[in-house]
Structure 1
């Protein structure tokens, strides 16, 4: 079963080297005011005055993540970026900050980043992880959002992606990517400029029309690329919980990562647990999920989600159980005579 813990990511209540995998999406800088009982609480990540202070705080949280991670473990972190001077941004995480607070955290004069420039927060964080914490950045995976939110700008492209970073402590670590391999594409490539098919496309030998070599012989499929197209998912929270949360990331993200970078029965942690997505999926995949969050409201929400039959069935990839109408008797409770 999943463990839902009210705690602070700056001081995780977990023993050293106890976790096989961390999958997390920390609060974004200057975007939301997380609350308990309708009241903003102090100490939450993302409430810093400048992006530099935000990255500093996130690095300290990451240092704590590294403490609880096994040498064979992996750390996967999702972060979105933000524009300097922007009053709005394209994000699946809807802003609930006041306009004055939002502007204060993106004021070009205060933060030293030119107006209309991306702040580069994901990469500022990633480079600090390498330089300050000595982590190994194994991959940057682009989260392409096919149902991303529209934007009203007319002088740049619409942002429809976010970054995920895969870090490890050691060069050798647990990985089994076979469960997430993709079906092989056609072994024979299309002709170049109407000519003969490229010899580089012959099955079992080399790669695509560019001539880049790759292994096409694995029966489990091709190695996934570094761009994953995954749609955002709405989360409908029961009214009786009294909690609104717009930032639950899709279950497909932790599902892929957990299957490939954690052993069966391993421990999977999300130190910014929120709605409990990571713990929910970890439990469905036969791991021990731990969700840590400062908010009692979100811990209550995560407890509901990780125990609700419909949510659990969805996380496991099964059909949800049929609802039973109040007062309706189950089929096997009916008094039906069977002809002999």
Structure 2
């Protein structure tokens, strides 16, 4: 395939969008596996004087290995994996599944050795993989030897080497188990979340986290008029200053948080469930004044048994909040694998609660794309969250899981907001192309396509791999690729017209697209759906600096919501009748 005027992909691997976790995995595995594989014993089958062969110059590796330093980078397993994306991602995915099963006591370190052997000890590989690791090393090393015959690829024996070296097996196993625990089992590290959410523009150390002593049922902005309220607990928060309210109120008839006369008026101790729900929604109405127009509420609420029957509290809350004008965008089911044991023997143990996502307007902030990136949910994340209660949460009676807070913030809180006009910064991706095509010249658009690698496809998709193979086996070039991009953006599948610098329609783009279709057949569509990537964040035109997104928990308790929000780079505020839990934490 000839290289055209635009610097688009020139090799098979150029088309693949490498997963960041797979890149990190390649480096981690290399650090521990290379010393086992790349040593003089590996090549003893070809010569008994391996070191002499590589001492053509004095630059020999200091660890006693046989490989000259100038060859070490190209011999590294990491180099091979980065040049063979499909195999690297397949190896990563199988090890991730292996270590997920290890969390529930399936398999053992032997299974890890078997998987590494399966992917790295093959003499040759077939499509979609390009070259085996044995062939890769052999093509570099064997020409250094004066061999009469055409030898088979070097036998790495990685599985056997690991199984025969218990110390090395345990070290690699422990390292990979920790790696996959961090990257695939449970939520990702905080820094990774900050980067995906765009909140890494702020230093968490500079963020605010404050809890005010006040009753959530009666809070109002400090200094505001409240003629319609019989009681008002002012707190130092402005109107329209909060982006996300995330809270979990006391559940009805579950426990008493206060004694003496406090218990007579405490939320959750109402005689009738209807009164409890009405008080909750009254409080929700109070909080509305704090929300920006684009703000959201994530409201966690559980049910209660009375006279052996569930009272349907979540459903009553949903009905009442809708009557008051709230829109319920989701009823999320939070399943709890490690809930509190139940002594009852005539019903199943409850292991779920509801989280309602409520909004006031249609134009609320929502970062579904960022959520998908963080939690690797695939293109259709669901409304079921399996989240265990956090362990070692101290003495507070109803700890809020950190992951639940993280998920709600990822979906509902912008990384930055204009404090003047309340416009949140919204994610822009390479899938949102229509406006860009209408507003830019062809040269600018092509530059944009290249910069954000719109041609990148998933190394995990078999169809994408076959599409790339057909592309490189053909006479298609970057102009055809550019035409494919144009066709794929329109709803009807018809080519949209590009304009050249003079403003004239370039109708030949349709001809190139048709030519590509004839060659690629059904695989044509693979190039019209590039891997989604973030290309920037939209903002307003106000002449002022943005502020971090702001989170508020009216029932702050020990302050889990505030702590997590601050760590992620947001400002966080709370209210509670008893601030001692927050102060202690």
TM-score above 0.5: yes
C-alpha deviation, 1:235, in angstroms: 4.2
Q: Which runs of 5+ in 1 are unaligned?
A: 86-115, 185-220, 238-243, 306-340
1:290-336 superposed Cα distances (whole Å, 9 cap, x missing partner):
010011xxx1221343xxxxxxxxxxxxxxxxxxxxxxxxxxxxxxx
Matching residue of 1:80: 302
Matching residue of 1:288: 571
What is the DSSP-based 3-state SS (H/G/I as helix, E as strand, rest coil) of the residue aligned with 2:407?
A: helix
Does the alignment pair 1:44 with 2:266? yes
1:258-308 superposed Cα distances (whole Å, 9 cap, x missing partner):
12211121110000111111111111111110010011xxx1221343xxx
Matching residue of 1:16: 239
Q: Is the 8 A contact 2:413 2:551 kept in 1?
A: yes
Question: Within 2, Cα distance between the matches of 1:153 and 1:43?
Answer: 30
Matching residue of 1:174: 365
Matching residue of 2:465: none
> Which structure would you say has the larger Rg?
2
Matching residue of 1:66: 288
Aligned length: 228
Matching residue of 1:233: 390
Matching residue of 2:376: 183
Q: Which runs of 5+ in 2 are unaligned?
A: 1-207, 220-234, 416-547
Does the alignment pair 1:3 with 2:210? yes
Q: Relative to total residues, which structure has the larger helix share, 1 or 2?
A: 2
C-alpha deviation, 1:236, in angstroms: 4.2
Q: Which has the higher contact order (CA 8 A, sep 6+)?
A: 1
Question: Within 1, Cα distance between the matches of 2:345 and 2:258?
Answer: 35
1:238-265 superposed Cα distances (whole Å, 9 cap, x missing partner):
xxxxxx4220110111111112211121
Does the alignment pair 1:302 with 2:582? yes
Question: Within 1, Cα distance between the matches of 2:239 and 2:255?
Answer: 31
Q: Is the 8 A contact 1:259 1:285 kept in 2?
A: no
Q: Is the 8 A contact 2:263 2:269 kept in 1?
A: no
Q: Is the 8 A contact 1:33 1:40 kept in 2?
A: no
Question: Within 2, Cα distance between the matches of 1:268 and 1:235?
Answer: 24
Matching residue of 2:492: none
Question: Within 2, Cα distance between the matches of 1:270 and 1:300?
Answer: 16
Q: Is the 8 A contact 1:235 1:246 kept in 2?
A: no
C-alpha deviation, 1:41, in angstroms: 5.2
Matching residue of 1:212: none
Matching residue of 2:398: 247
What is the DSSP-based 3-state SS (H/G/I as helix, E as strand, rest coil) of the residue aligned with 2:304?
A: coil
Matching residue of 1:267: 550
What is the DSSP-based 3-state SS (H/G/I as helix, E as strand, rest coil) of the residue aligned with 2:332?
A: strand
C-alpha deviation, 1:40, in angstroms: 4.4
Q: Is the 8 A contact 1:55 1:124 kept in 2?
A: yes
Question: Within 2, Cα distance between the matches of 1:262 and 1:235?
Answer: 27
TM-score by length of 2: 0.37
1:27-51 superposed Cα distances (whole Å, 9 cap, x missing partner):
0011121138x98455321121121
TM-score by length of 1: 0.63
Q: CA RMSD in A?
A: 1.9
C-alpha deviation, 1:68, in angstroms: 1.3
What is the DSSP-based 3-state SS (H/G/I as helix, E as strand, rest coil) of the residue aligned with 1:248?
A: coil
What is the DSSP-based 3-state SS (H/G/I as helix, E as strand, rest coil) of the residue aligned with 1:256?
A: helix
Q: Is the 8 A contact 2:396 2:581 kept in 1?
A: no
C-alpha deviation, 1:160, in angstroms: 0.9
Question: Within 2, Cα distance between the matches of 1:156 and 1:236?
Answer: 29
